[in-house]
Structure 1
Amino acid sequence: MEYTKGRGAQSALVPQRFGLAQRETDGDWRDAVETLDGPPVKLRTTVTEEFPKTILSFNSSPDIPFDRSINAYRGCEHGCVYCFARPTHAYHDLSPGLDFETRLFAKPDAARLLRETLAKPRYKPQWIAMGTNTDPYQPIENRYRITREVLEICLDARHPVTITTKSDRVLRDLDILAEMARHKLVAVSISVTSLDPKLSGLLEPRAAAPMKRLAALGTLEQAGVPTHCSVSPVIPAITDEFMESIIERAGSLGVQSAGWIPLRLPHEVAPLFREWLGVHYPDRAGKVMSIVRSIRSKNGAGRDNDPEFFTRMKPSGVWADLLRTRFRIACKKAGISGAKLELDCSAFRRPETGGQMRLL
């Protein structure tokens, strides 16, 4: 199979979960489109603006520490082939493969919607998670600045936020983040998958280089912003060799919180990842998937993915125990104690709306 350079997914996988019809060859012009029009042009990223009525998404999942989130963008140009958010594009009759990283959606009204929500009399603050589905600092943030606008609203309202990203673009908002940190309103998690820029370029082709992410962690820490180094996902026989080195570097930068998450392959992500392995690591594809299935084993039957609460991010088995032990030892050697996240909701103040100024 030919390598799709600069992209994580190698094809525009058509989702089958929703009964979408697959086109069959029937001899019309579409079967000879490349002969008639020439080879396909280079993939371009397009952005469609959408205007939802609400911006906060609420969840009742019992195994995650937040109940609300903001996703300013749908789809992600970083193109991480393992991204568990890819299946969300299938809900819109788009491919979780190449469409997910080339056909993006932005929500320019996010800040206005958030201001209106926070101003409602019945709204009760709990910290908002950003970056739970797609990265708030992916490349199109340069143009839209939606994440920055949301942070400005949260700073004004004294509303706590957590951020998860793979980009050093987060430093462009360091002025706001440092001010929020002084009020205990923010914490930033940066994911580092490997320390090999070549491997990173294949796994997550448009994300920041690993060393830039680590440098961003150090800069945030120096500015007083609580940071977390997420070694995720850990891909057996591909990226697990970097676990100790990543933790060691994070510890040397003063980071006091770290975690790891094993590879997750929900729905269409599994065939996309298998395809990626076949292109880039055909010699070890069987070994990788064998280990993945062994740590996602239930009742002795290995699975590509475990969707169940509490176990979906906590693998089991011999390989999982080995990774868990390695991580614990690495954190101890690096002096990472596991600082507890402390965000303050007590200073919340409803934002001004419609020109109405605060009484106090």
Structure 2
Amino acid sequence: MAATLPQDVLEIVFRYVEQDPHQIGRGGKKLSKREAARQSFHRLCLVSRVFCHVGRRFLYRKPLFGRHLAPKALFQLAETLRANQRYLGKLVTSLSGADTACERLGLAEETLGPTSLQFRGFSKAFSWQLFIFSSCPNCREVTATYSAESELKKLVRIVSTSLPDLRRIRLVDSSSGRDAIRAAKLSIVDPEASLLSLHSFFPIDTSRLTDLALRYCAASEPDLLKLVMLAPQLVKLSLKSSSFDPDNHLLWQYATDVEGSRLPTKFFALLPNIVRLELGGLAALSVWRLQLLAKHSPRIRHLSTEDCVWLRDEGASAVFPTNDLAEVFPTFKRLKYAHIGTIPFGYSNTLVKPIEKAFKKMRAKLAFEFADDVCPNCGRRHF
């Protein structure tokens, strides 16, 4: 076989094996999709050197996932990841399972023999953990373990300096069960979990947390306030709730049936450094909320409230007073894009024109969705 193949051919092979692997193993046993793909990529590496890069891209993406590696094999893995200018280490995107592997090495500490790693003063097992973290600069997901304060400090230093793209961490003291590293970015997607339950995955020290993306089921207003008070230095924030579907909600009964999905007014005064704010599946906007956001978040450039609906500021106030809003939006000095959610107008209603003109003067892009339904009680749209 030729020593090389066109890159597009290799990409086709990679996608085909990853997405549709043969899931019947030896003896007719059905394999999980990931295990079937792992075995297929392993066989590809044995077929020809031309497929080695394709196979390694998959095999080293999550080298510890679902693997029961012997202690000596774990040390060999660490040395392999560090070799050849860390070529293989750069393929790793997840080191989930490193904590389990470290514990397994700890149990076998007495029989490991002479193993040399550069981290002195720590056990061989813990040094192995530090070694692989420092060898995988593109890793985005990490689980780790520690048993003493000195180990914790070393982990914090290694992960903070060696993993600039880290998105998700699990660094747990067995006695506390809390994350202990400082992270700049954190992303958690669990459409069936409450926001309060996701707090348990937050770092103890949130002083570096600037980029946060959460997808959850529901949250109380105190929990939403607690979130932004925990990390007031946020630059990017994405909050999306799976419990509130504006297409199935009575859009004319604003703020009367949105418990667990309503953002409290004070929320918009607690984001002083925000540049990009994305909200989804929430009852979010009103004139007063926008005024607070413009006043307290002077750096904001991107505001997206797609799949969100509007609220009344007071019981008798209009839900969507276009003239007032046309005056509010220009107070955002740096705003370049805004999706203002679902507005209580029918398709192509001309009442939205004042806002469109305001955005044109701002040289900013405006997006929104029209409400297609009418009130079942009176047959009209309330605004």
Q: Same fold (TM over 0.5)?
A: no
Q: Which has the higher contact order (CA 8 A, sep 6+)?
A: 1
TM-score, normalization: structure 1? Answer: 0.29
Give the number of the structure whose alpha-carbon radius of gyration is greater. 2
TM-score, normalization: structure 2? Answer: 0.28
